[in-house]
Amino acid sequence: MAIRLGDIAPDFTAETTEGTINFHEWLGDGWGLLFSHPADYTPVCTTELGRTAQLKSEFEKRGVKAIAVSVDGLESHKGWINDINETQNTSVNFPIIADEDRNVATLYDMIHPNANDTLTVRSVFVIGPDKKVKLTLTYPASTGRNFLEILRVIDSLQLTANHSVATPADWKNGEDVVVSPAIKTEDIPAKFPKGHKVIKPYLRTTPQPNK
């Protein structure tokens, strides 16, 4: 079953490199990033897990916990982590789920038979404090993810969850944002006192309100 935006992220209990976790309990009241890997000891995944470890402080600033899933077992994961740490000059600092029975992969529809009937695709799920899925991304097994883009999207999700704005194409944290169409132009100054610009009646911009 495909996971859609707004769905409650399926809960599960699983063994990880940091012990047994109940997913919803582990998330607590914060944001979560769940991302899958086709298998252990795969070259692209090695770079991705290393990059996630390097960016841990950036995820922490945003209140986001990262957790990976791969369909191999714990002993395999532990050996792979040694390789990741060595080759990526980092230290893996987040849990990796052992999903040998493919329970998590199935719950999150991570196996796409027309692409490969055994390997998980590179799925990304961003989950909000309400346990609802806020973002899904799916890459083929051959394409590594852009983790700076994932951080950028999280910035947008967190901003737009708390303010009546949207973020335009290629937006980066700190840049102007788009005022929600639901807000009348005459009401903008009271809601966004930093100023605004009317480009078209339906396209109004304002400085990022939480900066």
Are 89 and 192 within one domain?
no
pLDDT of residue 2: 80
Residues classed as catalytic: 45
134, part of any domain:
yes
Question: pLDDT tens across 22-44, in order?
Answer: 999 999 999 999 998 878 998 99
pLDDT of residue 168: 98
180, part of any domain:
yes
Alpha-carbon dihedral 10, 77, 28, 154, rounded to 10 degrees: -80
Task: Report the percent of the chain where pLDDT is more than 90.
Answer: 81
Stretch (H or E) spanning 13 = strand 13-16
59, part of any domain:
yes
Angstrom distance (rounded) from CA 37 to CA 140: 10
pLDDT of residue 115: 45
Query: Looking at residue 179, which CATH number applies to its domain?
Result: 3.30.1020.10
Residues constituting the chain = 211
pLDDT of residue 111: 67
Given a cut of 60, whether residue 11 has pLDDT beyond it is yes
Mean pLDDT of the chain: 92
Task: Out of 22-31, 135-144, 161-170, pick the least confident.
Answer: 135-144
- Range of 183's domain? 163-206
Q: β-strand 96-98 against 64-70: which pairing, if any? A: parallel
pLDDT of residue 1: 58
With contact defined as beta carbons under 8 Å apart, do 105 and 69 qualify?
yes
Task: Report the percent of the chain where pLDDT is more than 70.
Answer: 94
Are 98 and 199 within one domain?
no
Domain's final residue, options 119, 145, 171: 145
Predicted TM-score of the model (pTM): 0.91
Are 127 and 72 within one domain?
yes
With contact defined as beta carbons under 8 Å apart, do 198 and 186 qualify?
no
158, part of any domain:
no
Given a cut of 90, whether residue 160 has pLDDT beyond it is yes
Question: pLDDT tens across 46-84, in order?
Answer: 999 999 999 999 999 999 999 999 989 999 999 999 999
41, part of any domain:
yes
Are 137 and 170 within one domain?
no
Query: Looking at residue 49, which CATH number applies to its domain?
Result: 3.40.30.10
pLDDT of residue 87: 98
The structural domain count of the chain equals 2
152, part of any domain:
no
